[in-house]
Structure 1
């Protein structure tokens, strides 16, 4: 049974219609949620949210480099329209890494890193990088 779970995606958030944003990109989002759609009374979520190029793995050995490359492989053909939409909608992009791993001295914790290509593409979008790790 795999001991690690990890996923990576390129997220977009902001104060805009996420469906209009998604129509600008010739890539279907993996998730699309409008601002206040889940609970209008409590204004949740606080911003519109989109996820693109989500890739995940369940394994004893997580290769963050490889996951990031797979996500960027999906995004790269749509980079020009994505950058244009981010600018036009004043959106806030983020490259998100999420990792779940067990607490055990017998199991190695994963190494984190990104290739020059991944860093260059993330930088070209103006995205920040967020890495969340959770021990099981």
Structure 2
């Protein structure tokens, strides 16, 4: 799997996805996160990819999809704050689990790296100390 196309609640996220198409298809389910001029992002319904459940968010610039962020949907914090029980050690552990999951999903192409390049863009997996969260980020070429 290269993650070039991701199905989220019946809508396919891919390099050519537009903000207008996402909102038309998921008007009831796309929760706005950031609206700052041309930069907009939306939290989307949970999705399971290769056996791991994520909370995906889509990031747009001027209506064009720039990236999809996949944050592990920890079943222990359902309905609660993701900051409850937060620790850097825990997030780094989640980053390690994300990296192992991604390497398995990509096969040999994923072994031992945090960034993976493809014709359509790249995938990064790790812990971002500024945000305080671990995630898998798909970035699309423009």
TM-score, normalised via structure 2 length: 0.34
Q: Which has the larger radius of gyration?
A: 1
Q: Which has the higher strand share?
A: 2
Q: TM-score, normalised by structure 1?
A: 0.35
Higher relative contact order (CA 8 A, sep 6+): 1
